[in-house]
Chains A and B, each alone.
Chain A
Amino acid sequence: MTGLASPPLSRAANVPGPAAGATPGTPQGPPRPRRAALLPTAALVLGAVYCLLPVAWVLVAATKSGADLFSTFTFLPGDGFSDNLGDLGAYRDGIYWRWMGNSLFYAGLGAVLSTAVSALAGYGLAVYRFRGREAFFNVMLAGVLMPPVVLAIPQYLLMAQADMTDTYASVLLPLILSPYGVYLGRVYAEAAVPMELVEAGRMDGAGEWRIFLRIAAPMMSPGLVTIFLFQFVAIWNNFLLPFIMLGDDEKFPMTVGLFTLLKQGAGQPALYTLVITGALLAVLPLIALFLLIQRFWSLDLLSGAVKS
């Protein structure tokens, strides 16, 4: 999410103005009291608590045994984490790890492919002038407004026509073309790749493909990282598409897999501790990814500031 805000931010950095944090001093009298910052700070703290409290709950609940889960104080950690982890790993011969692997596969490969398509399409839309370019772009923009949930069932029926339901490809393929990714790709290409540079490349005899790969793609890379991350998270959290597409639980991603743990029929106790522990572990790859990719974002800000 932070990444999405970077293009406007990078432009803002060009404009000389009040730096964040500096109080705009008034000529007469002392600067306004710092109390003014109290309200925004309080609002932010409230927002942070709102976002972090559920995470804290999952973190604490994952340490409780089934007996303690609902009977002890909500935020009092238990001592059952390693047992929960063991139970989760043992559940149906470790199918959880298979779901985790599937999720990594769908999200990893899907995000890479989707980023490649978005980069190519976005670059094409930004650099080339061709008939119907704006029409195409507008259709893509309309696609941004269309929630992917609406498309899951039509996509399923299409896949069934091609006899491809219940395959890995049936989940991967629909995710490769992301309207939002293409939109971001165009915005980034327009901001990061100067036309002069493309023309200079042409003068020097480089082919279009080479210009894209060697000149444009590296310049767009901070933006591409954002698209990758965005797509990775979207696919990682995707539920309805794999739920409809897949029948074989060996191909389930984590989201659908954990859902089967929760819904075992009226007479069966839901496996809360396993689901909670599983959900906690499912967040870890995302956190790791964010930490890893953080440095590219600062690069993004820098490159924006240097450009004139």
Chain B
Amino acid sequence: MPHTMRRRLAAATAVLLGATALTACGSSDSDDKAASGPVSLTYWAWAPGMDKVVALWNAEHPDIKVTVQKQASGDDLVTKIITATKAHKAPDLVQAEYQALPTLVSNDALADIAPDVAGVKDRFAPGIWQQTTFGGEAVYALPQDSGPLMFFYRQDLFKQYGLSVPTTWEEFATTARDLRKKAPDKSLTTFSANDSGLFAGLSQQAGARWWTFEGDTWKVGIDDAATRKVTDFWGGLVGEGAIDNQPMYTPAWNKALNSGEQLAWVSAVWAPGVLTTAAPDTRGKWAMAPLPQWTKGASSTGSWGGSSTAVTTDSKHRKAAAQFATWLNTDPVALAALVKESGIYPAATAAQTSGALAEAPAFFPNQPDFYTRAAEIAKTTAPAAWGPNVNVAYTAFKDEFGKAAKARSGFGTALTTVRSATVADLEKQGFEVAK
């Protein structure tokens, strides 16, 4: 079923937008003869240093000139792309987070580039590739970077308090309680209701499938058994006071990491970059380990963050744009430059063990094999299942879990509310939703 999802999404969009979707469909075939003469492409991206990476391409490809227009990442950019698509003013290429792809596709913003990127599939881990294709034949984007989840902990303090690195979530809970007993003013970590992406990744690891579709209907599994397990686990820890309940990415959180008030952080491969600014005094004191598992001996992880390069339906040069996207995300020179200039963790599997990542992050001099281990963990990334209104679910998560975390009252009701808010929004958008 190559185009099932696209068709269904487009059908729903047509209901909403009427003629807009139809005209967009009509224009998407008219780009094949554009190859004659130099082509000029615009690219909305937020990764730092992207202009320098693109300069390498421009030096070698005088016939296809790419201009980076730096944007701010996040849901606002998704809105901006959709608005631009409605006005037929979108750039040729956009950087898009994985969870935003279904939203963009359902608004008919992204072109299917499957014919232009044949043979690229094998360069990526299946779990990542699935996020840009939704499991079908159509290809809506090429994976650029990924954020496999890992466990980061203060090596020195773990030693000081006689803690061992947890390999299962059960051990994780014991470690948290242990630490509280030995040092009541310290916490193993915090549960942050602000970071929906992390919660999504943790659920993904447990096997949750938040959005799936069958035939013409969406199924929202936000309160499925796997997510319940994750919710009850963290809700329990917060409820009994074994871990902190303050949000991440605040000055107070920075201070807690820097002073050693919090000993660990469940985060993704890009954590060293954040720790560098958040906890500057702790260089060389952290170590990375695989994420704790639900069953002993298993190896599975979720992801937090990561983005892709997509070609828009507005682009008059789909082939050229796809050619650039392929170069950017599979060519060793481009990937090495992305690692160096943009500090990303490449999604292409070959690049994860390449020379560009031979050295450990500067903040982790004590763990020289950081990226070798990271590559092994990245391979175990569980598939993610995103839907067309991730932003709505994320907002509901922040509101509901925020309240519950503050009250330390357990997260059960909050999860139910998040699901019903997501379902209600899908229905409002004109999608069929299974009950």
Name A residues whose Cβ lies closer than 8 Å to a Cβ of B. 66-67, 70-71, 92, 153, 156-157, 160-161, 165-166, 243-244, 247-249, 256, 259-260, 262-270, 272
- Asked if residues A165 and B47 are in contact (CB atoms below 8 Å), the reply is no
B331-347 contact mask (Cβ, 8 Å, vs A): 1 or 0 = 00000000000011100
- Asked if residues B72 and A263 are in contact (CB atoms below 8 Å), the reply is yes
Which 8 A-B pairs have CB atoms at the shortest separation, nearest pair first? A267-B270, A160-B87, A266-B305, A263-B72, A67-B280, A70-B254, A269-B277, A260-B72
Q: A70-B278, A259-B72 in contact; A247/B91 too (CB < 8 A)?
A: yes
Instruction: Tell me the total A-B contact number using a CB cutoff of 8 A.
Output: 98
* Chain A residues with CB under 8 A of B269: 267
In angstroms, Cα B78 to Cα A244, docked, is: 11
Q: Is B83 an interface residue (CB 8 A)?
A: yes
Q: A243-B76, A268-B273 in contact; A71/B46 too (CB < 8 A)?
A: no
- Asked if residues A267 and B87 are in contact (CB atoms below 8 Å), the reply is no
- Asked if residues A165 and B87 are in contact (CB atoms below 8 Å), the reply is yes
B273, B306, B307: the one contacting A269 at CB < 8 Å is: B273
Chain B binding surface, main DSSP class = mixed
A71, A161, A243, A265: the one contacting B47 at CB < 8 Å is: A265
A70, A92, A244: the one contacting B255 at CB < 8 Å is: A70
* Chain B residues with CB under 8 A of A263: 46, 72-74, 76
Name B residues whose Cβ lies closer than 8 Å to a Cβ of A. 42, 44, 46-48, 51, 69-74, 76, 80, 83-84, 86-89, 91, 145, 147, 197, 251, 254-255, 258-259, 268-270, 273-274, 276-278, 280-281, 304-307, 343-345
Q: A70's closest neighbor in chain B, by CB?
A: B254
* Chain B residues with CB under 8 A of A71: 254-255, 258-259, 280-281
Distance in angstroms from A20 CB to nearest chain B CB is 42
Distance in angstroms from A173 CB to nearest chain B CB is 16
* Chain B residues with CB under 8 A of A156: 83, 87
- Asked if residues A157 and B345 are in contact (CB atoms below 8 Å), the reply is no
* Chain A residues with CB under 8 A of B70: 92, 249, 260
Q: A269's closest neighbor in chain B, by CB?
A: B277
Distance in angstroms from A52 CB to nearest chain B CB is 20
In angstroms, Cα B95 to Cα A268, docked, is: 15
Q: A153's closest neighbor in chain B, by CB?
A: B83
B51, B80, B281, B305: the one contacting A265 at CB < 8 Å is: B305
* Chain A residues with CB under 8 A of B145: 267
In angstroms, Cα B279 to Cα A67, docked, is: 8
In angstroms, Cα B429 to Cα A291, docked, is: 51
Q: A70-B278, A264-B46, A265-B47 in contact; A243/B270 too (CB < 8 A)?
A: no
- Asked if residues A268 and B48 are in contact (CB atoms below 8 Å), the reply is yes
- Asked if residues B44 and A265 are in contact (CB atoms below 8 Å), the reply is no
Q: A68's closest neighbor in chain B, by CB?
A: B280
In angstroms, Cα B89 to Cα A165, docked, is: 8
Q: Interface centre among B251, B306, B345, by most A CB within 10 Å?
A: B251
* Chain B residues with CB under 8 A of A70: 251, 254-255, 258, 278
Q: Interface centre among A166, A243, A247, A266, by most B CB within 10 Å?
A: A266
In angstroms, Cα B73 to Cα A270, docked, is: 11
11 A-B pairs besides A156-B87, A157-B87, A248-B69 with CB distance below 8 A are A153-B83, A157-B83, A247-B42, A256-B72, A263-B46, A263-B72, A265-B305, A267-B145, A267-B270, A267-B305, A267-B343
- Asked if residues B71 and A260 are in contact (CB atoms below 8 Å), the reply is yes
9 pairs, A vs B, C-beta closer than 8 Å: A153-B83, A160-B89, A244-B83, A247-B71, A265-B73, A267-B145, A268-B47, A269-B274, A269-B277
- Asked if residues B48 and A264 are in contact (CB atoms below 8 Å), the reply is yes
- Asked if residues B83 and A67 are in contact (CB atoms below 8 Å), the reply is no
In angstroms, Cα B197 to Cα A270, docked, is: 17
* Chain A residues with CB under 8 A of B73: 263-266
A66, A92, A249, A262: the one contacting B280 at CB < 8 Å is: A66
Q: A159's closest neighbor in chain B, by CB?
A: B87
* Chain B residues with CB under 8 A of A260: 46, 70-72
Q: Interface centre among A244, A247, A248, A265, by most B CB within 10 Å?
A: A265
